[in-house]
Amino acid sequence: MKIGIIGAGVAGLASAVRLASRGHEVHVYEANSYPGGKLSEFELQGYRFDAGPSLFTMPQYVDELYRVAGEKPADHFEYERLPVVCHYFWEDDTRLLAYAEEERFAGEVNDKLGVPPERLHRALADSHRKYRLTGRIFLEKSLHRLDTWLNGRVLRAMLAIPGLDLFTSMDAVNRRHLKHPKLVQLFNRFATYNGSNPYKAPGLLSIIPHFEHHIGAFFPRGGMYNITKSIHELAERKGVTFHFNTPVREIIVEEGRAVALQLDEGIATFGRIISNMDVFFTYRKLLPRERHPERTLRQQKSTSALIFYWGIRRQFPELGLHNIFFSEDYQAEFRHLEEGEIFNDPTVYINITQKYEPGDAPEGCENWFTMINVPYNSGQDWDALIERSRKQILEKLSRMLKVDIEPLIECEEVLEPRTIESKTASHLGALYGTSSNNRMAAFLRHPNFSSRIKGLYFCGGSVHPGGGIPLALLSAKIVDEVMHSEA
């Protein structure tokens, strides 16, 4: 069968590998000149930066693509487990290392915060329990097909709902288990992994720490972009044809079935079509004559990001690959985000791949991917906000690191909600599509197939199961399984 894929983001690439491995003829159409979508890279004055996602968890989903394709993962894609997941900093000079090994992490929490180890163990055990009950069901299967709900494991998970904290907030769960405000803040941060508010998002999201502290956080050799590069090369080896600088203008539907793509140079016909484009723009731009799922498309959007890529003329041994400098009032920060504003004391994240890839910066220097969470674009004066936020970030980092940072900046690039939308077609610059603040958010995301248009499927962070690299890869797996169950 001839299959057309719109978009060469990581989910589009993964879909291409899976379908080509089944023997299909696969064509991928990408408006940009490069693959990867948000998962791209660039160089600036001798510094290399991963432009988008900086955290790598669940590497087994990348490995699985190689096995599906009949190859050995280690022959083409290398990564290592991080001994320290993240370095945390607070204004009162408290500094804490989140060790990957649970006992060592518990010891650090006890030493630095005076929190008894059993509290951390209890929180992580609860995270593991929730994943064991629900993770593989709700993340690896379509929630919009009857056969999923007839599965015995799903029935057991449904019976466990009272203990899954669907009807309480993530913050309430963390306060119940951890109690200490700094440790609660640390665990509340995991809500930002899908652009949500821990004070509103359901407690089931406390499943997320399991991914880092039981399965692990990893670093791919060559940087995050090597995920894109490796999967793209795998797809090419499987015979996938890529068409870069080739935007799709319309999905052509005849008698209720998606049958072709309208391109600038003509029409290309297909037996099946998959959109890795943001689901909002898939409908608004590519399906102008079809009925749109308005309730889904109008859901609250996730947060966005303001990122400063800085080449820093100095090395900081106290920093690691992942670093967090916390706000003193986390709840106020999220309240401002909900109101479409940026708090004057934002939590700052710094990713420094030079720590693991020395060649990513000149000798004696570091490449700082410096990010704060910001609201999606709803018409704010972004130029003024960027200028103000830059000043506040530099003041905060200089104060907490006790070094004047601005004179160390050798070069700078900026990414913000407007450019996120223009470069990656993410509606309003939202990084994760819709937010997960609603307790039923997992069920409200757009499914991986169209119930109205036969032969049309969806993958990527704006549809089920959600945003982030692991979930985007799983969306491709779900599309593959759904498509072939219908064959």
Give me the domains of the chain, ranges plus CATH numbers: 2-42+223-298+440-485 (3.50.50.60), 119-212 (no CATH)
Whose CA is closest to 252, among 277, 284, 279, 289?
289
Please give the structure tokens belonging to residue 378: 């709803």
Nearest to 235 by CA among 11, 17, 1, 21: 17
pTM (predicted TM-score): 0.93
| Residue 465: cis peptide before it, omega within 30 degrees of 0 | yes
Six-digit token pair at 449?
A: 């197939």
In sequence order, the β-bridge partners of residue 80 are 219
* Amino acid found at 303: T
Banded model confidence at residue 160, pLDDT cuts 50, 70, 90? low
Question: Where residue 164 falls among pLDDT bands split at 50, 70, 90?
Answer: confident
Q: Where are the alpha helices (DSSP H) in 169-313?
A: 170-178, 181-188, 209-210, 225-237, 279-286, 294-297
Confidence (pLDDT) at 417: 97
- Say whether pLDDT at 11 is over 90: yes
Q: Tell me the per-residue pLDDT of 320-343, one tens digit each, with 9 for 90 and over.
A: 999 999 999 999 999 999 999 999
What is the predicted pLDDT for the residue at 149? Answer: 53
Would you tell me how many other CB atoms lie within 10 Å of the CB of residue 125?
A: 15
For residue 467, name the pLDDT band (cuts at 50, 70, 90).
Answer: confident
3-state secondary structure of 1: coil
Q: Which of 479, 477, 447 lies closest to 61 in space, CA to CA? A: 477
For helices 117-130 and 170-178, the axis angle rounded to 10 degrees is 140
What pLDDT is attached to residue 137? 66
Give the pLDDT of residue 433. Answer: 84
* 102-117 average pLDDT score: 98
Residue 462's identity, in one-letter code, is S
Question: What's the pLDDT at 105?
Answer: 97
Tokens 């999606």 correspond to what residue? 376
Alpha carbon distance 487, 482 (integer Å):
9
- Does 50 or 156 have the greater pLDDT score? 50
For residues 158 and 382, the model is more confident at: 382
Per-residue pLDDT at 153 exceeds 60: yes
* Res. 177: pLDDT tops 80: yes
**In 362-479, beta strands by DSSP E:** 366-374, 409-415, 456-458
Q: CA–CA separation, 115 vs 106, rounded Å?
A: 8
What pLDDT is recorded for position 150? 56
Residue 139: pLDDT over 90:
no
State the CB neighbour count (10 A cutoff) for residue 73: 19
Question: How many other β-carbons are positioned within 10 Å of the β-carbon of residue 310?
Answer: 26
Give the integer Cα–Cα distance in Å for 435 and 170: 14
241-243/25-29 β-pairing: parallel
Contact 410, 46 (CB under 8 A): no
Confidence of residue 152 (pLDDT cuts 50, 70, 90): low
What is the chain's length? 487
Say how many C-beta atoms besides its own lie within 10 A of residue 395's C-beta: 14
Average pLDDT of every residue of the chain: 93
Q: In the predicted model, is pLDDT for residue 440 greater than 90?
A: no
* DSSP secondary structure of 114-161: ---HHHHHHHHHHHHHHIIIIIHHHHHS-SSSHHHHTSHHHHHHHHTG
- Residue 375 CA to residue 337 CA, distance in Å, equals 5
Beta bridge partners of 202: 169
pLDDT at 146 exceeding the cut of 60: no
**What pLDDT score was predicted for residue 434?**
79
**Mean pLDDT of the region 288-311:** 92
